[in-house]
Amino acid sequence: MHIVVVGCGRVGSELAYSLYRRGHQVAVVDQVASTFEKLPADYRGRTVEGEVLSREVLHRSGIEQADGLAAVTNSDPVNAVLAHLARTVYKVPNVVVRNYDPRCIPIHEAFGLQVISSTRWGAQRIEELLQHGAPRSVFSAGNGEVQVYEVVVPAEWSRSRLHEMLPEGGCVPTSLTRAGKATIPSRGIDLEAGDVIHVSATRKGFEELRRRLLSPPKGD
């Protein structure tokens, strides 16, 4: 595939090199020539210096034939405009935008763009790690709106039903691993201490799940 990476900072240079190593044709665009020094010495993809919103510069990057474009400059408005142009003018089929300031996410959402916000995701992940006993996030979809969490069933929940632990909405069980064997569980299955459950949850569903784990059912 031919991929255009706009912005050759830490993320852009790492992304471009990784794509190049995987055998893709890569063009990196940046308005500051010295940023290309961040690329490893064995990078043999294309580098294009110039104003990133310039039609001539984008043409030199091969955007008309691009299969994908990543807008990873340090400006959220520039990334949004670049991505919009790539989709609507150049018909690039796969466009991804990096977000810096979470307050600018509505700009990207207004254009219907795929957004990666390291700030928002990082804050959520740190919060989870700081909360003792909270489920562990193992996969994040979209911009973190839905995540897959790993939950180890504590002894207090042994012999309870799965549906008693999980909220009715915003939290769906995807697997249960017991004695090394994984299954797709029904919500009525009896739990055993040490069971590993993976659930897909929204932020609201996760908060309710965490509240329930902190208030285990009373024994008979």
φ/ψ (deg, to 5) at 172: -125, 125
The total of structural domains in the chain comes to: 2
8 Å CB contact between 15 and 29:
no
Which of residues 77, 93, 117 is at a domain's end? Answer: 117
Q: How confident is the model at residue 128 (pLDDT cuts 50, 70, 90)?
A: low
- At residue 57, the 3 state secondary structure works out as helix
Q: What is the CATH number of the domain that holds 47?
A: 3.40.50.720
Q: How confident is the model at residue 176 (pLDDT cuts 50, 70, 90)?
A: very high
Angle at alpha carbon of residue 47, lines to 24 and 142, rounded to 5°? 55
How buried is 72 (Cβ within 10 angstroms: 0-12 exposed, 13-18 middle, 19+ buried)? buried
**97/128 same-domain check:** no
**163/108 same-domain check:** no
**195/99 same-domain check:** no
- The arithmetic mean of pLDDT across residues 165-184, rounded, is 92
Task: Establish if 33 belongs to a structural domain.
Answer: yes
Distance of CA 206 to the CA centre of its chain: 17
**108/25 same-domain check:** yes
Which of residues 117, 147, 181 is at a domain's end? Answer: 117
Task: Establish if 187 belongs to a structural domain.
Answer: yes
Range in 39-48, 52-61, 138-147 with the lowest mean pLDDT: 138-147
How buried is 184 (Cβ within 10 angstroms: 0-12 exposed, 13-18 middle, 19+ buried)? exposed
Gap between the Cα atoms of 105 and 112, Å rounded: 11
**58/158 same-domain check:** no
8 Å CB contact between 209 and 165:
yes
Query: Which position has the higher pLDDT, 155 or 21?
Result: 21
81-92 confidence digits (pLDDT tens) = 999 999 999 999
pLDDT at 163: 92
192-219 confidence digits (pLDDT tens) = 988 989 999 998 998 898 888 888 776 5
Q: How confident is the model at residue 120 (pLDDT cuts 50, 70, 90)?
A: confident
**97/112 same-domain check:** yes
What is the value of pTM for the model shown?
A: 0.64
Query: Chain-wide mean pLDDT for the chain?
Result: 89
- The arithmetic mean of pLDDT across residues 141-153, rounded, is 86
- At residue 41, the 3 state secondary structure works out as coil
Query: Which position has the higher pLDDT, 136 or 27?
Result: 27
Task: Establish if 219 belongs to a structural domain.
Answer: no
Count of H-run helices and E-run strands, the chain: 7, 11
Instruction: Tell me the residue range of the domain where 185 lies.
Output: 124-213
